[in-house]
């Protein structure tokens, strides 16, 4: 190295820090107390705050954290009733368990990592294990009040934004032993939120199915399941589509139920220690494995698991002392010490059922054989289209992919989304504006095929639908999904709505589980831009348009956006950022899916024409 180059090297190291780093020193390092940390980083504890429009919003997680404690009391044999009251912005949960120990009441709802479930002698099959849940609800509420009745005494405490403002012992009156929690989510954290009573009711039913001796009262309405998971399966099945009577088995630690219907796809529900795990996990894998092994062993076959599961609707619940969940939200069971035993137990219970109910077993076998034949038909179509498949594998010009995907173990991968857009014009705006780390774009070409009533193999002959399936990674199994959110992004006109319905039909018919698991969304863009020389507002309804126009006064320019391509990339960026408006596709009653699709996407019969005349003309 020359003398000049040595000098150059010294200069590189001795140069002053860039302007962006000058403020980073010892004073930049902060230590937040637990309350501050929860309020500043709520996503680490309860997920995305949201506004209540999405079933995965933290608004429902903080409700769940309170109910989980009441469920744990019931599981331990204390309390047969839980009262839940939802009053606009306020939620109250009253159980009749043992009540929180009075001397530790404040600590149990405010001091993180404090609780009675770290030792198994108090709670053997608890959901709440980390001493975090109720504290997070408290910290994220503008008002949080807890009252415990125990040993003939009553202790109550009130918090504002997690800070204790009142702590009293009061007259217990005639109230029964137990705990009451009342909270109001903080509107500074949950912006413009509204509590969907239908979502609260759906979650309560999920508790009821696995706690048959427990009765819930939601705003006075009783919710109770007499037959456990059998009720859950039957609630999601149209009896006309049933191939055989649902199978229901149960012992002290395992309960499951399943049946097959004439439709394609698969639906599974899983629970661990009374907790609905919407994303499944180890126990669901054991359930699937146990069914597969039982069927192959009983019939002395080697059926492909896909053939066994096509058309299945199933639910499984386990109780285990050693469990691990993927996050504080507990949507997925990642670890339990006895899954091999669980799978084997399920296998033996299914075989025992087959031996006692041979007619049902025969009907199930025939269904699997039909599935096997249908899969072979698809394979033949794939062979005929092998050149096309190879071309799609090598290059997908429709896709502008993102860097991180669902399941790649990166934190941002769980936020990944793909926009299914209407044409290249809309796609180009989103591509230019998106965050390529977690937002992908797929450009549709024209209107997709109306797939209602068609066999699945028909989609393999349709380039557009085949592109979608391959891009999403669900060609073999829905577990291969590459994106956390599938976002349908079409224009707000007749053609756009038609394309949206065609895509909804496709996913609801063939990939129902994706929809039921909360992966399908509708992209909502502003319908109007209202502006003057000083201010600009983007409005999502005519009412909002009129309000903003009145607020700005005279000389207002109002623009109606007819298509996504009309919105400039500069404007579009703010619509797909942190404040993106997404409407989650929610199915309140899966058993009605086929009938709904038939009415709106089926043949033009008299009943359909009458519906159009009565409602749409």
**Strands of the sheet with 90-95, listed across from one edge:** 163-170, 153-160, 141-150, 178-185, 90-95, 81-87, 215-218, 221-223
> Where are the CATH 3.40.50.670 domain residues in the chain?
393-525+581-586
Pairwise CA distance, residues 356 & 248, whole Å: 13
- Nearest CA-CA partner of 365 in 316, 294, 285: 294
Q: What is the pLDDT of residue 563?
A: 72
Pairwise CA distance, residues 488 & 496, whole Å: 10
The CATH number assigned to the domain with range 393-525+581-586 reads 3.40.50.670
Pairwise CA distance, residues 330 & 46, whole Å: 10
Q: What is the pLDDT of residue 3?
A: 43
Run of H or E residues at 488: strand 485-489
Q: What is the pLDDT of residue 33?
A: 85
The CATH number assigned to the domain with range 43-223 reads 3.30.565.10
Greatest Cα pair distance, the chain, in angstroms, is: 92
The pTM assigned to this predicted structure is 0.76
- Nearest CA-CA partner of 421 in 395, 403, 439, 394: 439
pLDDT averaged over 10-residue windows placed end to end, the chain, 617 residues: 44 48 74 86 85 88 93 91 95 96 93 66 53 86 97 96 96 94 95 92 95 96 96 90 94 95 87 86 92 97 94 92 61 72 95 96 95 82 61 64 88 90 81 92 87 76 83 84 93 85 91 89 89 88 90 88 76 83 86 82 74 67
- Nearest CA-CA partner of 310 in 477, 465, 471: 477
φ/ψ (deg, to 5) at 177:
-55, 145
> Where are the CATH 3.30.230.10 domain residues in the chain?
229-383
Pairwise CA distance, residues 408 & 87, whole Å: 41
Q: What is the pLDDT of residue 117?
A: 56
CA dihedral 280, 339, 212, 144 (to 10 degrees): -60
> Where are the CATH 3.30.565.10 domain residues in the chain?
43-223
Q: What is the pLDDT of residue 278?
A: 83
Q: What is the pLDDT of residue 525?
A: 83
**CATH 3.30.230.10 for the 229-383 domain, yes or no:** yes
Q: What is the pLDDT of residue 11?
A: 46
Radius of gyration, alpha carbons of the chain: 27
The DSSP result for 51-68, as a single string, is -SSSTTSHHHHHHHHHHH
- Nearest CA-CA partner of 67 in 112, 134, 117: 134
| Rounded-to-5 percentages of helix, strand, coil across the chain | 45, 20, 35
């Amino acid at each position: 190295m020359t003398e000049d180059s040595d000098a150059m090297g010294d200069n590189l190291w001795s140069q002053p820090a860039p302007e962006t780093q000058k403020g980073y020193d010892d004073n930049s390092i902060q230590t937040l107390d637990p309350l501050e940390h929860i309020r500043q980083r709520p996503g680490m504890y309860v997920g995305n705050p949201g506004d209540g429009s999405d079933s995965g919003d933290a608004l429902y997680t903080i409700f769940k954290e309170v109910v989980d404690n009441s469920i744990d009391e019931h599981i331990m044999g204390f309390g047969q009733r839980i009262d839940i009251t939802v009053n606009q912005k306020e939620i109250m949960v009253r159980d009749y368990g043992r009540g929180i120990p009075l001397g530790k009441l404040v600590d149990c709802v405010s001091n993180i990592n404090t609780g009675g479930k770290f030792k198994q002698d108090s709670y053997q099959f608890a959901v709440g294990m980390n001493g975090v849940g109720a504290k997070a609800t408290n910290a994220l509420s503008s008002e949080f009040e807890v009252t415990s009745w125990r040993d003939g005494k009553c202790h109550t405490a009130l918090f504002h934004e997690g800070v204790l403002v009142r702590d009293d012992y009061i007259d217990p009156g005639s109230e029964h032993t137990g705990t009451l929690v009342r909270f109001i989510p903080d509107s500074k954290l949950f912006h413009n939120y509204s509590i969907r009573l239908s979502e609260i009711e759906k979650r309560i039913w999920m508790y009821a199915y696995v706690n048959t001796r427990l009765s819930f009262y939601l705003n006075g309405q009783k919710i109770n399941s007499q037959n456990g998971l059998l009720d859950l399966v039957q609630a999601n099945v149209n009896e006309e589509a049933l191939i055989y009577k649902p199978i229901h088995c149960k012992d002290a630690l395992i309960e499951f139920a399943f049946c097959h219907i004439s439709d394609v796809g698969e639906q599974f529900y899983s629970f661990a220690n009374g907790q609905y795990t919407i994303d499944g996990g180890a126990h669901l894998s054991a359930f699937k494995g146990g069914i597969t092994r039982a069927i192959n062993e009983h019939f002395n076959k080697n059926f492909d698991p896909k053939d066994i599961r096509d058309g299945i609707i199933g639910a499984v619940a386990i109780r285990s002392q050693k469990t691990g969940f993927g996050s504080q939200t507990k949507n997925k069971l990642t670890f339990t010490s006895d899954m091999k035993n669980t799978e084997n137990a399920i296998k033996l219970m299914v075989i025992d059922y087959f031996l006692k109910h041979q007619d049902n077993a025969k009907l199930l076998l025939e269904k699997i054989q039909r599935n096997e034949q249908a899969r072979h038909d698809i394979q033949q179509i794939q062979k005929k289209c092998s050149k096309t498949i190879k071309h799609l594998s090598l290059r997908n010009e429709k896709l502008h992919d993102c860097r991180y995907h669902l399941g790649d173990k990166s934190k941002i991968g769980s936020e990944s989304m793909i926009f299914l857009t209407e044409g290249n014009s809309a796609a180009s705006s989103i591509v230019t504006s998106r965050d390529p780390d977690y937002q992908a774009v797929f450009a549709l070409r024209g209107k997709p095929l109306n797939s209602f009533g068609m066999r699945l193999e028909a989609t393999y002959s349709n380039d557009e639908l085949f592109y979608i399936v391959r891009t999403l990674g669900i060609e073999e199994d829905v577990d291969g999904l590459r994106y956390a959110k599938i976002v349908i992004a079409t224009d707000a006109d007749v053609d756009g709505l038609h394309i949206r319905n065609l895509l909804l039909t496709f996913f609801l018919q063939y990939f129902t589980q994706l929809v039921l698991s909360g992966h399908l969304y509708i992209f909502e863009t502003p319908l109007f831009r209202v502006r003057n020389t000083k201010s600009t507002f983007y409005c999502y309804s005519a009412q909002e348009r009129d309000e903003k126009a009145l607020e700005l006064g005279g000389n207002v320019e109002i623009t109606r956006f007819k298509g996504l391509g009309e919105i400039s990339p500069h404007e579009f960026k703010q619509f797909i950022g942190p404040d993106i408006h997404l409407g989650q596709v929610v199915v309140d009653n899966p058993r009605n899916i086929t009938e709904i699709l038939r009415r709106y996407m089926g043949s033009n019969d008299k009943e359909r024409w009458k519906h159009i005349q009565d409602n749409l003309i």
